[in-house]
Structure 1
Amino acid sequence: MEKFKAFTLEVFEVMPIYAQIFVGAIIFAFAAASVYSRINLNFGAKTFSGIPREQLRTNVGHILVYTGIPVVLAIAFFTMVAIYYTSGK
Protein backbone atom coordinates (compact mmCIF):
# COMPACT_ATOMS: atom_id res chain seq x y z
CA MET A 1 0.00 0.00 0.00
CA GLU A 2 2.90 2.35 0.70
CA LYS A 3 4.20 1.95 -2.85
CA PHE A 4 0.75 2.79 -4.23
CA LYS A 5 0.56 5.84 -1.97
CA ALA A 6 4.04 6.99 -3.05
CA PHE A 7 3.12 6.49 -6.71
CA THR A 8 -0.12 8.42 -6.19
CA LEU A 9 1.62 11.37 -4.56
CA GLU A 10 4.24 11.41 -7.31
CA VAL A 11 1.63 11.42 -10.10
CA PHE A 12 -0.66 14.02 -8.59
CA GLU A 13 2.20 16.38 -7.66
CA VAL A 14 2.88 16.98 -11.36
CA MET A 15 -0.73 16.82 -12.58
CA PRO A 16 -2.61 20.15 -12.49
CA ILE A 17 -6.09 20.19 -10.97
CA TYR A 18 -7.79 20.74 -14.34
CA ALA A 19 -6.03 17.66 -15.72
CA GLN A 20 -7.18 15.62 -12.71
CA ILE A 21 -10.77 16.75 -13.29
CA PHE A 22 -10.56 16.08 -17.04
CA VAL A 23 -9.06 12.59 -16.63
CA GLY A 24 -11.52 11.72 -13.88
CA ALA A 25 -14.50 12.89 -15.94
CA ILE A 26 -13.40 10.90 -19.01
CA ILE A 27 -12.77 7.71 -17.01
CA PHE A 28 -16.06 8.06 -15.13
CA ALA A 29 -18.07 8.79 -18.29
CA PHE A 30 -16.61 5.81 -20.15
CA ALA A 31 -17.14 3.45 -17.20
CA ALA A 32 -20.72 4.68 -16.65
CA ALA A 33 -21.58 4.40 -20.35
CA SER A 34 -20.07 0.94 -20.47
CA VAL A 35 -22.08 -0.32 -17.49
CA TYR A 36 -25.26 1.32 -18.79
CA SER A 37 -24.68 -0.33 -22.18
CA ARG A 38 -24.95 -3.73 -20.50
CA ILE A 39 -28.21 -2.73 -18.78
CA ASN A 40 -29.95 -0.98 -21.68
CA LEU A 41 -29.41 -3.04 -24.83
CA ASN A 42 -30.68 -0.28 -27.14
CA PHE A 43 -27.97 2.05 -25.85
CA GLY A 44 -25.46 -0.80 -25.89
CA ALA A 45 -26.18 -1.63 -29.52
CA LYS A 46 -25.32 1.97 -30.45
CA THR A 47 -22.29 2.21 -28.18
CA PHE A 48 -20.74 -1.14 -29.12
CA SER A 49 -21.87 -1.30 -32.74
CA GLY A 50 -19.15 -3.82 -33.61
CA ILE A 51 -20.64 -6.59 -31.48
CA PRO A 52 -24.00 -8.26 -32.17
CA ARG A 53 -26.79 -7.12 -29.84
CA GLU A 54 -27.44 -10.64 -28.53
CA GLN A 55 -23.81 -10.91 -27.35
CA LEU A 56 -23.79 -7.70 -25.29
CA ARG A 57 -24.54 -9.59 -22.08
CA THR A 58 -22.96 -12.95 -22.91
CA ASN A 59 -19.58 -12.25 -24.55
CA VAL A 60 -17.32 -12.55 -21.50
CA GLY A 61 -14.18 -11.28 -23.21
CA HIS A 62 -15.93 -8.16 -24.45
CA ILE A 63 -17.49 -7.54 -21.03
CA LEU A 64 -14.13 -7.85 -19.26
CA VAL A 65 -12.26 -5.60 -21.69
CA TYR A 66 -14.87 -2.91 -22.28
CA THR A 67 -16.67 -2.90 -18.92
CA GLY A 68 -14.50 -4.57 -16.29
CA ILE A 69 -11.28 -2.72 -17.03
CA PRO A 70 -12.86 0.77 -17.20
CA VAL A 71 -14.70 0.21 -13.91
CA VAL A 72 -11.50 -0.99 -12.20
CA LEU A 73 -9.58 1.99 -13.64
CA ALA A 74 -12.26 4.39 -12.39
CA ILE A 75 -12.12 2.90 -8.90
CA ALA A 76 -8.31 3.03 -8.90
CA PHE A 77 -8.21 6.63 -10.14
CA PHE A 78 -10.72 7.88 -7.59
CA THR A 79 -8.86 5.94 -4.87
CA MET A 80 -5.71 7.78 -5.93
CA VAL A 81 -7.58 11.09 -5.75
CA ALA A 82 -8.81 10.26 -2.26
CA ILE A 83 -5.32 9.27 -1.10
CA TYR A 84 -3.79 12.44 -2.53
CA TYR A 85 -6.30 14.85 -1.05
CA THR A 86 -6.42 13.17 2.37
CA SER A 87 -2.63 12.96 2.71
CA GLY A 88 -2.31 16.65 3.54
CA LYS A 89 -0.49 17.61 0.34
Structure 2
Amino acid sequence: MTDQEMQMEHIRALEEEIAQFRRAKSQRCTCRESKTLRDEFAMAAMTALLSQWETPSDEAKKEMSRHAYEVADAMLETRKFGGENGT
Protein backbone atom coordinates (compact mmCIF):
# COMPACT_ATOMS: atom_id res chain seq x y z
CA MET A 1 0.00 0.00 0.00
CA THR A 2 1.41 3.38 -0.97
CA ASP A 3 1.69 6.33 1.40
CA GLN A 4 -1.14 8.07 -0.43
CA GLU A 5 -3.38 5.01 -0.09
CA MET A 6 -2.56 4.78 3.61
CA GLN A 7 -3.42 8.45 4.08
CA MET A 8 -6.71 7.99 2.24
CA GLU A 9 -7.51 4.96 4.40
CA HIS A 10 -6.76 6.99 7.51
CA ILE A 11 -8.99 9.84 6.29
CA ARG A 12 -11.84 7.40 5.59
CA ALA A 13 -11.48 5.95 9.09
CA LEU A 14 -11.59 9.44 10.61
CA GLU A 15 -14.63 10.35 8.53
CA GLU A 16 -16.38 7.21 9.76
CA GLU A 17 -15.54 8.07 13.38
CA ILE A 18 -16.96 11.55 12.88
CA ALA A 19 -20.10 10.12 11.31
CA GLN A 20 -20.54 7.70 14.23
CA PHE A 21 -20.07 10.55 16.71
CA ARG A 22 -22.68 12.67 14.93
CA ARG A 23 -25.16 9.78 14.84
CA ALA A 24 -24.65 9.12 18.54
CA LYS A 25 -24.97 12.82 19.34
CA SER A 26 -28.22 13.13 17.39
CA GLN A 27 -29.68 10.14 19.26
CA ARG A 28 -29.03 11.65 22.69
CA CYS A 29 -31.85 13.21 24.61
CA THR A 30 -32.46 16.74 23.41
CA CYS A 31 -34.33 17.59 26.59
CA ARG A 32 -31.53 19.70 28.00
CA GLU A 33 -33.54 22.86 27.58
CA SER A 34 -33.37 25.15 30.53
CA LYS A 35 -36.34 25.17 32.84
CA THR A 36 -38.55 28.21 32.78
CA LEU A 37 -40.13 29.83 35.80
CA ARG A 38 -43.41 28.34 34.57
CA ASP A 39 -41.82 24.87 34.68
CA GLU A 40 -40.52 25.51 38.20
CA PHE A 41 -43.99 26.57 39.38
CA ALA A 42 -45.58 23.57 37.67
CA MET A 43 -43.09 21.21 39.33
CA ALA A 44 -43.95 22.65 42.74
CA ALA A 45 -47.66 22.27 42.02
CA MET A 46 -47.12 18.73 40.72
CA THR A 47 -45.29 17.77 43.91
CA ALA A 48 -48.24 18.94 45.97
CA LEU A 49 -50.72 17.14 43.71
CA LEU A 50 -48.77 13.87 43.77
CA SER A 51 -48.45 13.96 47.54
CA GLN A 52 -52.21 13.44 47.74
CA TRP A 53 -52.14 10.16 45.77
CA GLU A 54 -50.66 6.82 46.65
CA THR A 55 -50.37 5.48 43.10
CA PRO A 56 -52.10 7.64 40.49
CA SER A 57 -53.17 6.06 37.21
CA ASP A 58 -51.61 7.18 33.93
CA GLU A 59 -54.76 9.14 33.14
CA ALA A 60 -54.66 10.82 36.56
CA LYS A 61 -50.99 11.75 36.01
CA LYS A 62 -51.86 13.41 32.71
CA GLU A 63 -54.70 15.32 34.34
CA MET A 64 -52.45 16.38 37.23
CA SER A 65 -49.75 17.52 34.80
CA ARG A 66 -52.24 19.67 32.93
CA HIS A 67 -53.56 21.06 36.20
CA ALA A 68 -50.02 21.76 37.46
CA TYR A 69 -49.41 24.01 34.45
CA GLU A 70 -52.76 25.73 34.99
CA VAL A 71 -51.63 26.47 38.56
CA ALA A 72 -48.27 27.69 37.24
CA ASP A 73 -50.02 30.01 34.78
CA ALA A 74 -52.16 31.40 37.60
CA MET A 75 -49.05 31.94 39.71
CA LEU A 76 -47.34 33.80 36.87
CA GLU A 77 -50.42 35.95 36.35
CA THR A 78 -50.53 36.79 40.06
CA ARG A 79 -46.81 37.52 40.01
CA LYS A 80 -47.43 40.32 37.49
CA PHE A 81 -49.29 42.13 40.25
CA GLY A 82 -46.53 41.69 42.81
CA GLY A 83 -48.12 38.65 44.43
CA GLU A 84 -51.00 40.69 45.78
CA ASN A 85 -54.55 39.33 45.48
CA GLY A 86 -54.05 38.37 41.80
CA THR A 87 -56.25 39.96 39.21
TM bucket (normalised to shorter chain) is 0.3 to 0.5
More relative contact order, 1 or 2 (CA 8 Å, 6+ apart):
1
Q: TM-score, normalised by structure 2?
A: 0.33
Q: TM-score, normalised by structure 1?
A: 0.33
Instruction: Specify the structure having the higher radius of gyration (Cα).
Output: 2
Normalized per residue, the structure richer in helix is 1
